[in-house]
């Protein structure tokens, strides 16, 4: 099912299927909402006062998507003073270091998420459970 939106950003008009986006970042302090274009590392950064309609459309999409996928692949992670909504089914590799640090790279972005059991126990456990349930392998 596609969820297309049309908007203007930096003088260009975009038509994007939000269902193809695998990760969103929200900065809690300044309300910036970021996502990366598919097959690209180009970020789209929305702010409420400059892109109010598009900002609201993306937030509505995220709420609907995460609410219907509570037990699915979408997770919310607070990391580096940002809240990320990530579709784990779009992650193609995970790394667990001997010290237990768990890392993965956001789809269509160069951003790495590094989780530790002490730093973000809930997200750490969610990701490990997803890996085990999806791949049949455990990194613990």
pLDDT tens, residue by residue, 74-92: 888 888 888 999 999 999 9
Letter string b/e over residues 104-120, b meaning 16 or more CB atoms within 10 A of that residue's CB: bbbbbbebebebeeeeb
Domain extents in the chain: 4-68, 89-135
Question: 10 — alpha (psi -120 to 50), left (phi > 0) or beta?
Answer: left
Task: Give the CA diameter of the chain.
Answer: 47
**Residue 69's pLDDT is what?**
67
For the residues 23-38, what does the mean pLDDT come to? 89
* pLDDT greater than 70 at residue 105: yes
Instruction: Answer for the pair 77, 86: CB distance below 8 angstroms, yes or no.
Output: yes
Question: What's the predicted TM-score (pTM) here?
Answer: 0.85
Distances (CA, A) of 45 to 3, 24, 107, 129: 19, 10, 16, 31
């Amino acid at each position: 099912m596609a969820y297309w939106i049309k908007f203007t950003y930096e003088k260009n008009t975009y038509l994007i299927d939000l269902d193809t986006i695998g990760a969103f970042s929200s900065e809690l302090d300044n309300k910036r909402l970021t996502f990366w274009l598919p097959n690209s590392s180009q970020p789209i950064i929305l702010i409420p006062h400059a892109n109010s309609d598009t900002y609201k459309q993306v937030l509505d999409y995220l709420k609907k998507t995460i609410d219907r996928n509570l037990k699915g692949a979408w997770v919310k992670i607070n990391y580096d003073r940002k809240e990320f909504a990530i579709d784990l089914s779009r992650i193609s590799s995970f790394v667990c270091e001997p010290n237990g640090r768990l890392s993965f790279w956001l789809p269509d972005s160069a951003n790495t998420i590094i989780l530790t059991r002490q730093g973000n126990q809930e997200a750490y456990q969610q990701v490990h459970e997803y890996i085990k349930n999806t791949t049949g392998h455990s990194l613990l």
